[in-house]
Structure 1
Amino acid sequence: MDRRLFLRMAASAGIGAALLPRLALAAAQPDRMAHVEAVVARWVGTGHFPGLVASLGLPGQPTQFVARGMQAFTDGTPMSADSLFRIYSMTKPITGIMAMQLIAEGRLGLDQPLAEILPEYAQMQVQNQYDGSITALHPAPRAITIRQLLTHTSGLGYSIVQKGPIAALMRRQGLVPGQVTRISLPGLDWGTPVPGLEAFAQRLAKVPLVADPGTAWHYSMGLDLMGRVIEVVTGQRFDAFLRERLFAPAGMASTSFQVSPRDAHRLTTNYGVVAGHLVPIDPGETSVFLSAPAFPFGGSGLVSSPRDYDRFLRLLAQGGMLDGRRILSEQAVRVGTSNLLPPGVPLPVIDGAPRSGFGAGGRVGLGAEAGIFGWSGAAGTVAMVDMVHGYRSQLFAQFMPPNALGLLPEFQRALKADIMAILETS
């Protein structure tokens, strides 16, 4: 690779001069993922997963993908970087970053009151006790803002998180977080969603908040509601906006809310973990994602490929540039991947990780993890980008719940070992 080209691409990814020679030398290493490859090999096969895909990308060089196994135990199609996966909550950073693009264009304000766009959110009621009574309420002391929607600090609830009467109310109203399967299964039957994003937003406005806006981090349906905000602001359907402004220009042709018949052969099977065993709950050939969803779920609805999502991560790492073209504002990317938590909100502990910040739909590392932005999905997918050093990584599996097995923490340890090896040997 031309050294000058590498330096230009690395600089655009925010890499410091001291680290450049080490990452440049790493480009010549044929295998940068020895530890991750070992994890993938160990977890694919009889008694484990039918197949997995992992990736690691360094600035200015092709992404290295590790794909092993098949798309399903009953499907002989080899797993590849172009296989299709339900990415669930990895949809959130996409929605969040595109909201940041509208903010950079002056069409939205980060601290703009939500009620200026959706008037039905002007006078919200809040539970006196988290997950308590839905009649013992008080008026919200302040307005919900766009910042709060992006960072899960709006006070909105989540039907897969809440307990008691408010969870039952949300499910009755069709305020469910997405789709899983055509089969009714205990624990994975999220309910029947309300038809249409406009109706979703109107019904959610009538449900009490679980906390006062801007006071605490509670995982929420804020990014689903952001889809409706984007529709109102742009005058476009949310899915059409994403396709026109991100997926098409970024070359993410495999990312969508519905899998087309011509791509059905690439869709993996999703499994449920029952007593440590994988049971098919959404086979690729009959998947619920082959049908149109009730509405485009901005918090959970996308199907994507490892190759496509890596392009999104590379777009972030390069400050909105991809293949020599500016697709997103540098401001949108830099601000969206920084800590946007409202002042005074305690730093959350997410999935046992160190206390962290939160950006536009994704976790933001602080301290020793400064610059790391990313999120995971409910069916065993995870992706991150290091905005300081410019590298990015992913793991794609399909099983629910993702904490039922030890794959993800083992992958994180292996990834750290590979990255440290690159830095130590370069």
Structure 2
Amino acid sequence: MIRALEAAMDRRALLGMAGAAGLGAALMPKLAWAAAQPELLPKVRAVVERWTGPGRFPGMVASLGLPGREPEFVARGSEGFNDPDTVTPDSLCRIYSMTKPVTAMAAMQLIAQGRLGLDQPVYEILPKFRTMQVQDTYDGSVTALHPAPRPITMRHLMTHTSGLGYTIVQNGAIRRLMTGKGLVPGQISRLTAPGLDWGTPVKGLDHFADRLAEVPLVADPGTRWSYSMGLDLMGRVIEVVTGQPFDVYLHETIFAPAGMTSTWFQVPAAEAHRLTTNYVAIGEVLAPIDEGATSIFLDKPAFPFGGAGLVSSPRDYDRFLRLLAQFGMIDGRRVLSESAVRTGTSNLLPPGVSVPAAFGGPSGFGAGGRVGKGAEAGIYGWSGAAGTVGMVDMVHGLRSQIFVQFMPPDALDLLPEFQAALKADVLAILETR
């Protein structure tokens, strides 16, 4: 009797959450059925089990969340081959570019408050970006330049259409120029070896922004999607507008109110035991490059990298995804405005611009994350350089993720297999009559 009552209460809570999220009445019975099932991820579980163990990965965590229901986590293995601690939803992972949606949503909140404008020129906040020069040829000469025909805007920063370069993307003279100025995207390891050393970053977001303004753009603003340091620069914009250090602002306005207690730019020493090991894939062999106990993420970073600097746990990042799925609300508390979330998870690309196939296109792009089109309409999210992926289905109120630690994430077939299994499990829920 008690179990039946609890199940009924869970279903009522789910239907209430679904209504609050704007989900259609036809979908609610399907989600109510799903909420009563003992397992939502049978195919994902099989993938995780197949890829975890000797000769594969030490451990990984995947999850799926529905409106009104705590996420179902699938966790297998340990936090490292030399770390016997069991991997759990509270293990800490380097999420790299999954930092970008967090930074962008902080900016969208400032836009919703009227403290920034979506199409406001960046130079109004950071005057050194008023007069920018652009390479005549993408990744070509750094002396054959022309004046930018229009200013970089906040929209451009969040959608990678600013024309700003990225040292992990650019080649040739522009890359050498950026690296020489300390304009690197983050940190990987204390080891120095080809592919592991992104360069020595300049210290301080203010110095980072000033030096970035001195580098030519790789494309005219608003004309091309080119993965960039736009969200790192947005961190400095947020500092100037709010008068607070960027990391402090994120903690006070998103992490603490959303109950995200395990997300940091610098992992506290007392939490090092939860930090997983990161690996580099050499063929099918994984070699450790950043072990938890001695991780570079235990050190204070040169500056809080708004594009790639956060460490988080699967449980914490699920709360961020839940915050988006519920249009800014979590645990009965409003953290982000509804307009900030709705606009930020919609397609914000300038007319005529699309995400290239190498980055998941053709598709739209919102505030720091890819926005699906067609059959994927309403899906927003992004991935990280060490194999993490986080997505939210804004139409159905679903959220999903996988946390594993290896670089580069396309070196093995794990993530495509996970995506196929996740799609099958989600379709089984949505197609249930």
Q: TM-score range by the shorter chain?
A: over 0.9
Q: Of the candidates 414, 419, 426, which is equivalent to residue 426 of structure 2?
A: 419
The one-letter amino acid paired with 2:44 is V
- The TM-score normalised by the length of structure 2 is 0.97
SS of structure 2 residue aligned to 1:425: coil
**Aligned mates of 2:399, 2:334 — CA distance in 1:** 19
The answer for the alignment partner of 1:268 in structure 2 is 276
The answer for the alignment partner of 1:360 in structure 2 is 367
The answer for the alignment partner of 2:356 in structure 1 is 349
CA contact (8 A) 1:313 1:384 kept: yes
The answer for the alignment partner of 2:173 in structure 1 is 165
Structure 2 CA distance for partners of 1:206 and 1:400, relative to 1, 3 Å: same
CA contact (8 A) 2:14 2:31 kept: no
**Aligned mates of 1:360, 1:208 — CA distance in 2:** 24
The answer for the alignment partner of 1:284 in structure 2 is 292
**Aligned mates of 1:12, 1:203 — CA distance in 2:** 45
The answer for the alignment partner of 1:319 in structure 2 is 327
1:14 paired to 2:22: yes
Superposition pairs of residues 15-414 of structure 1, within 5 angstroms? 15-345=23-353, 347-351=354-358, 353-414=360-421
**Aligned mates of 2:64, 2:357 — CA distance in 1:** 23
Report the CA distance between 1:423 and its aligned residue. 2.4
**Aligned mates of 1:139, 1:355 — CA distance in 2:** 29
SS of structure 1 residue aligned to 2:14: helix
Deviations 1:262-319 (A, max 9, x none): 1000000000011220000001110000000000000000000000000000000001
**Aligned mates of 2:154, 2:92 — CA distance in 1:** 31
**Aligned mates of 1:92, 1:353 — CA distance in 2:** 16
**Aligned mates of 1:153, 1:424 — CA distance in 2:** 37
The one-letter amino acid paired with 1:400 is M
**Aligned mates of 1:356, 1:122 — CA distance in 2:** 30
Deviations 1:147-192 (A, max 9, x none): 0000000000000100000001100000000000011020121000
**Aligned mates of 2:362, 2:115 — CA distance in 1:** 32
Give the unaligned 5+ runs of structure 2. Answer: 1-7
**Aligned mates of 1:192, 1:249 — CA distance in 2:** 34
**Aligned mates of 2:208, 2:19 — CA distance in 1:** 43
CA RMSD between the two structures: 0.9
**Aligned mates of 1:68, 1:32 — CA distance in 2:** 16
- The TM-score normalised by the length of structure 1 is 0.98
The one-letter amino acid paired with 1:123 is T
The one-letter amino acid paired with 2:377 is A
CA contact (8 A) 1:14 1:387 kept: no
**Aligned mates of 1:313, 1:353 — CA distance in 2:** 20
Between Structure 1 and Structure 2, how many residues are aligned?
425
SS of structure 1 residue aligned to 2:431: helix
Deviations 1:39-98 (A, max 9, x none): 000000011000000000011111100000000001110000000000000000000011
Report the CA distance between 1:231 and its aligned residue. 0.2
Structure 2 CA distance for partners of 1:135 and 1:352, relative to 1, 3 Å: closer
The one-letter amino acid paired with 2:228 is S
**Aligned mates of 1:289, 1:49 — CA distance in 2:** 21
CA contact (8 A) 1:54 1:66 kept: yes
SS of structure 2 residue aligned to 1:143: coil
Deviations 1:222-270 (A, max 9, x none): 0000000000000000000000000001110100100001100000000
